Structure 1
Amino acid sequence: MLRKNFALLLLMLTAGGYCAAAPARDLSAIASLPSDSFVHKSMEARKKLIHKHLPLNSREAHDFWPIYDEYQQELMLVYIQRKATITKLGRHFDAMTDDFAKQFVMESIALQEERLHVLHNYFKKFEIVLPGKQLLRFYQIENRFRSAVDAELAERIPLLK
């Protein structure tokens, strides 16, 4: 069941030509996408997954979901940039140069750092509205989602020869 939801985000990350790279923190990049885009669909699927597996009382839900929506938008910007980086890798894969390979690694590391920055910043906000166990459960669900996407990407992107 969870794997089907992860597949939707994977499609968003690997499908070509559906969204352009966006600078970090420019939330207008998401707002300007069509409502039927892979980004919007994956955001909704992820939100449904969190809703299903993170039981919240009415007060927690009232406080949590607005923060989550903001958090999700910032994470999606990182995923949009990641998709653009992976697409660029695909275009250069057969004629890879050492310089491009180094650039790809540095961009990948920078995106991981940006994702961790978002996680850290929103942890501070989530810990105000969620008790510790709920906070841990939320981050466990998020980690499973991300791990599944990363595993799928690792299987689909061949090792460089």
Structure 2
Amino acid sequence: MVRKKAGLMFVTVAMSALLLILGGTVLAQETPADNMQIVFEKIKADKKLFVAENMQLSETEAKAFWPVYESYQDELFLLRTRTLALIRAYKDAYQTMTDETAKKLLDEYMIIEKLRPQLREAYLPKFRKVLPDIKVLRYYQIENKVGAVTDHALGAHIPLIKTGKK
């Protein structure tokens, strides 16, 4: 039962992230800022609950872990915001893509892809300071699973660019 509940929570977190990224453009244009904040807070809370249910932290570990987690999530949010801006730029340029625009998008994509592992690496000593390595590994696995599901869903919904050749 716990495994099923955790699996459902995982799907909820991943799909919420997908909704945020894919629907962000529409939501930002049609929904008041307060409602967008509610969506962001819901996603954040769902993910935190998923992590909490799967980390198996003692009370002492939890006290030390959550502040580091929150700081890490704040920095991840900045990367997600940058990724969302990249997806929006891709969407806006999709029908009229030029080599110049493609180069800019590709350069930004490569920067974002370099920043992700740098952020994970920068936080590794911080997590190790508050948790044993086995639990740090578990946390990084959880983050990886959430990211993999989100990346898969994005890949399924973002079309390949047209090159003009058939």
Is this a same-fold pair by TM over 0.5?
yes
Which runs of 5 or more residues in structure 1 are unaligned? 20-32
Instruction: Select the residue among 14, 37, 44 that pairs with 2:22.
Output: 14
The match for 1:42 is 43
Q: Deviations over 1:3-44 (max 9, x none)?
A: 22210011112221556xxxxxxxxxxxxx747343322221
Structure 2 alignment gaps of length 5 or more: 1-7
Paired residue total: 148
Q: Indicate how the Cα distance of structure 1 residues 81 and 38 shifts in structure 2: closer, same or farther if over 3 A, else same.
A: farther
AA partner of residue 67 (structure 1): V
Contact 2:128 2:136 (8 Å CA) reproduced: yes
**Cα separation, 1, equivalents of 2:145 and 2:95:** 32
More helix by share: 2
Match of 2:3?
none
1:144 corresponds to: 145
Q: Distance in 2 between matches of 1:94 and 1:123?
A: 41
When normalised by structure 1's length, the TM-score is 0.86
Larger Rg: 2
Structure 2 CA distance for aligned equivalents of residues 18 and 70 of structure 1: 26
Identity %: 30
Superposed CA deviations along residues 75-123 of structure 1, whole A, max 9, x for unmatched, are: 0111011001101100000100011111111101111222222211111
TM-score between both structures, scaled by the size of structure 2: 0.83
Sort the Cα spacing of 1:81 and 1:17 in 2 relative to 1 into closer, same or farther, 3 A.
farther
Q: 1:59 and 2:60 equivalent?
A: yes
Cα RMSD (Å): 1.6
